[in-house]
Amino acid sequence: MNSLKFFSLAIGIFVCANIANAQSVKPTFKKLWFASYETAKPGKVKAVAVKDLIEITETGAVHFRTVYYNGVADTTYQLAEDLIIKLNKIFNGDKKLESRMVANRLKPGEHYAGNLSLISYVDHKDKIDNFIYVEPFMNDQFNDLMQKLPILPSKVSYKGQIIEDKAIENQIIESNNVCTYLPDISLPPSIKQ
């Protein structure tokens, strides 16, 4: 009988310890993905090259893939609670992502040489919000959060040379082709000496 009590007590302590260690903050969305991409030219496109792909589940699990010179690095990790809290302030279904824009064109003389990115998320009411993210057009809070999302792979597993996901590529092409505020991608002019 004493061994049964001891065994029950040990199981109870183990279960309580695991519950205490479980993540208490959960995302306010069902799914979120963020894909940075390149196109051969601005305007209507038929093909894109995905450079980074971050997928986050409703439990806060992240699957991150990025293209390096020697292949695609692939890693998974669990988001920290403080980052989930920040994500929940933006990806909660209260406002469209477009409301985070502070501009919709570059200032005269400005150049944008970065990638374009499509963000898509499904809130808990099953509403989908797709948005093409251009860093200079967004507010500081949004840009700060997006820069904190990717964590460089700690355990690198190279899987091929490109990121292939036809559903995501098709969504990027569709969104890119209807977007009215995309900047031309160009390097600033060189300085003549």
72: pLDDT confidence band, cut at 50, 70 and 90?
Answer: confident
How many angstroms separate the CA atoms of 34 and 175, rounded? 13
Q: Are strands 29-38 and 49-57 parallel, antiparallel or unpaired?
A: antiparallel
Q: For 77-113, how does the pLDDT look when each residue is reduced to its tens digit (9 = 90+)? A: 898 999 999 999 999 989 999 999 999 999 888 888 8
* % pLDDT > 90, the chain: 39
How many angstroms separate the CA atoms of 62 and 180, rounded? 30
CB atoms within 10 A of CB 160: 11
Q: Give the mean pLDDT of 33-59.
A: 87
6: pLDDT confidence band, cut at 50, 70 and 90?
Answer: very low
The predicted pLDDT at position 35 comes to: 93
Return all residues near 159 (Cβ < 8 A) that are at least 6 apart. 65, 71, 72, 74
* pTM confidence score: 0.76
| Domain extents in the chain | 23-178
Among the listed residues 52, 32, 47, the one whose alpha carbon sits nearest the alpha carbon of residue 170: 47
The answer, yes or no, to whether residue 30 has pLDDT greater than 90, is: yes
How many angstroms separate the CA atoms of 185 and 190, rounded? 15
Complete DSSP assignment for 94-142: SS-GGGGBS-SSPPTT--B-S-EEEEEEEETT--EEEEEE-GGGB-HHH
Would you say 114 and 52 are in contact if contact means Cβ atoms under 8 Å apart? no
Return all residues near 76 (Cβ < 8 A) that are at least 6 apart. 61, 62, 63, 64
Q: Are strands 157-158 and 49-57 parallel, antiparallel or unpaired?
A: unpaired
Q: Are strands 157-158 and 128-133 parallel, antiparallel or unpaired?
A: unpaired
The predicted pLDDT at position 188 comes to: 67
Residue 128 CA: distances (Å) to CA of 32, 90, 125, 174, 176: 10, 14, 9, 14, 16
Q: For 170-189, how does the pLDDT look when each residue is reduced to its tens digit (9 = 90+)? A: 999 899 888 888 888 876 66
The predicted pLDDT at position 77 comes to: 87
The predicted pLDDT at position 21 comes to: 45
* Mean pLDDT over the full length of the chain: 81
